Amino acid sequence: MSKHDIRQELLARRKQLDVAACVRLSRQVQQQLIAADCFQRARVMALYSPINNEVQTDQLYAAAVASGKIVCFPRMVEQGLDFRRVTSLSALTVGRFGVAEPVTGESCPLADMDMIVVPGVAFDRSGHRLGYGKGFYDRELASAAERTKAVGLCFAFQLCRCLPRETHDRPVQFLATQTELISCYEKVAVSP
């Protein structure tokens, strides 16, 4: 299947989730990540504001703030993302593409982040992701520090066997679903 076909199919499935199911499953996904060592160790992290029945991030935000972490959210600028520190979710306002984003707040360079949590339409176990096709997160992940852990959040039905890949696609290192936390470090083929 093409990226377009996968995107259409999974967006349709996600759209079918009712509010209660989205909240319940999102809570389970977030608990998988909150319990993970990569979350516990992170001091500075970026979250996203969910749209269109994406996995919610409110519990991640609450757990991070409660443990003294610095939390940033992106705002869209030209063809990139500008991460800003957020001290209250009420500071987010709807911006481009209907995504809640910070208008003010201290800038958080990607180089300072220990973790960046990314949304996606589909993921595979190697950490490859399919977004909405604009490339915002791929560009940011390409410039992230090696120590910055990229973590994808998705519902189990968004997990595909193998996604089509392009050279500009950037994989995540971890993936949280409602049933598991997956370490996605890609296996390197060894020639005989």
Q: Averaged over 135-141, what is the pLDDT?
A: 81
- Per-residue model confidence (pLDDT) at position 186: 52
Domain count, the chain: 1
pTM for the structure as a whole: 0.90
Question: In what helix (H) or strand (E) does residue 26 lie, and over which residues does it extend?
Answer: helix 19-34
Residue 191 lies in a domain: no
- Per-residue model confidence (pLDDT) at position 189: 35
Residue 164 lies in a domain: yes
Smallest Cα–Cα separation from 5: which of 84, 121, 109? Answer: 121
Domain CATH code at residue 62: 3.40.50.10420
The pLDDT tens digits for 76-86 are 887 788 999 99
- Per-residue model confidence (pLDDT) at position 96: 76
Residue 190 lies in a domain: no
Residue 97 lies in a domain: yes
The pLDDT tens digits for 82-100 are 999 999 998 899 987 789 9
Q: Averaged over 133-146, what is the pLDDT?
A: 79
From the DSSP assignment, how many helices (H) and strands (E) are in the chain?
5, 12
Residue 46 belongs to domain spanning: 3-183
